[in-house]
Amino acid sequence: IRKGALEAIAGTKAAAELDALRVKYLGKKGELTAVLKLMGSLSAEERPVMGQMANEVRAAVEKAVEAQSAILEKAALEAKLKAETLDITIPGKEVALGHKHPMYTVLDEIKQVFLDMGFEIMDGPEIELESYNFTKLNAPESHPSRDWTDTFYLTEDSKILLRTQTSPMQIRAMEEHGVPIRMISPGRVYRKDEVDATHSPMFHQIEGLVVDKGVTMADLKGTLNAVIKAIYGADSVTRFRPHHFPFTEPSCEVDIQCHKCGGKGCPTCKGEGWIEVLGAGMVHPKVLRNCGIDPDEYSGFAFGMGLERFAMGHFKISDLRLIFENDERFLQQF
Ligand code: PHE
């Protein structure tokens, strides 16, 4: 019995198999129990010898079962650990990464040009007071841009609106900052325009303002020429055209000569030869006075440029809508 049992126990591969053997040898109807039951038929001399032997066998079998049980448990744990191990060689799931929008690439470039020239960057509200968007900027009550068909008013009394230009930041800069000032302020503006290839009810402008003693139109031209050359290249050609804005006097619009046709006229510039890139002018004395600055002591210039227009020129984008639609097929090209 002993030999058979020990060999069988050592050969088991699973806990259930081992348990079956334990019952087979040590159980109530087991082989060893059967031997003990026969003890009664033995002689008085044989009985203690047989009893001792039986006990030795029982102890040996019990010990073997215990040892084999420990071995099987350890093997089972090892197998489980092996099966559950994290396989760090399996390739991970690919995460689609975005990148900077082309318009912000252009904005960052423009910002850097101004920062290098000593300008500060200001941020201001898109929900604006009518007084900042129009009145303090010297726009007469009858000015067409004040019309409800052009401007998004947020209150019945027309006192609060979505700013139609970043020019209210001129007022905020002068009121909050005081002179001297050298700042730009990029941001969103809103107008009731139908969407097409060159119009959107929301677009971006970059306002600029310089106020100090003795600032002249020559400073305006020099600064804007330097900026345009930095962005469009040293060989770019500009043209300053007289214009009108309520808050600057004199006022001008700045065109850049079409790089495609060199001013002759082609589809890129719609046959014009020139592309308008910004509005500018010397800050109107009334505007300075509205902000508590003495126009006899200080003067300044201001400008406003359309960011989308710069981005479209920079990346040769033909339709403004592409900038806002966030179509991945478009964005992935940059
Ligand atoms: N705010 C003007 C516009 O939206 C641009 C401008 C800004 C012109 C500053 C002159 C000075 O058209």
Contacts of 244 (CB under 8 A, 6+ apart): 251
In tens, the pLDDT along 195-211 reads 988 889 999 999 999 99
* % of residues, the chain, pLDDT over 90: 54
* % of residues, the chain, pLDDT over 70: 100
pLDDT of residue 123: 97
pLDDT of residue 53: 84
Q: Is the CB of 165 under 6 A from ligand 1?
A: yes
pLDDT of residue 92: 87
Average pLDDT of every residue of the chain:
91
**Rounded Cα distance, 109 and 102, in Å:** 11
Interior/surface letters 51-67, b for 16+ CB within 10 angstroms, e for the rest: eeebeebbeebeebbee
Query: Could you tell which of 165, 184, 199, 204 is best to mutate to test the pocket of ligand 1, judged by most ligand atoms within 8 Å of the CB?
Result: 165
Q: Is the pLDDT of residue 259 over 80?
A: no
pLDDT of residue 4: 83
Q: Is the CB of 305 under 6 A from ligand 1?
A: no
pLDDT of residue 10: 85
Beta strand extents in the chain (DSSP E only): 120-121, 127-129, 160-162, 181-190, 202-212, 238-245, 248-257, 274-283, 299-306
Q: Is the CB of 303 under 6 A from ligand 1?
A: yes
- Which amino acid residue places its CA nearest to atom 7 of ligand 1? 304
**Does residue 246 or residue 36 have the better pLDDT?**
246
Ligand 1 center from residue 246 Cα (angstroms): 9
- Which amino acid residue places its CA nearest to atom 5 of ligand 1? 304
pLDDT of residue 263: 86
6 pLDDT band (50/70/90 cuts)?
A: confident
Interior/surface letters 149-187, b for 16+ CB within 10 angstroms, e for the rest: eebeeeeeeeeebbbbbbbbbbbbbbeebebebbbbbbb
Q: Is the pLDDT of residue 79 over 80?
A: yes
In tens, the pLDDT along 34-74 reads 887 887 788 888 888 888 888 888 888 888 888 888 888 89
Is residue 130 annotated as involved in ligand binding? no
User: What does the DSSP assignment read for 217-278?
Assistant: HHHHHHHHHHHHHHHH-TT--EEEEEEEETTEEEEEEEEEE-TTTTTS--GGGTTSSEEEEE
What atom in ligand 1 is closest to the CA of residue 305?
5
**Does residue 266 or residue 301 have the better pLDDT?**
301
Do residues 156 and 115 touch, judged by C-beta distance below 8 A? no
25 pLDDT band (50/70/90 cuts)?
A: confident
Ligand 1 center from residue 205 Cα (angstroms): 9
Q: Is the pLDDT of residue 9 over 80?
A: yes
For the entire predicted model, the pTM comes to: 0.72
**Does residue 241 or residue 40 have the better pLDDT?**
241
User: What does the DSSP assignment read for 17-41?
Assistant: HHHHHHHHHHSTTSHHHHHHHGGGG
In tens, the pLDDT along 273-330 reads 898 889 999 999 999 999 999 999 999 999 999 999 888 888 888 888 999 998 889 9
Ligand 1 center from residue 185 Cα (angstroms): 12
| ipTM of the shown complex | 0.98
Q: Is the CB of 138 under 6 A from ligand 1?
A: no
In tens, the pLDDT along 86-131 reads 888 888 888 888 889 999 999 999 999 999 999 999 999 999 999 9
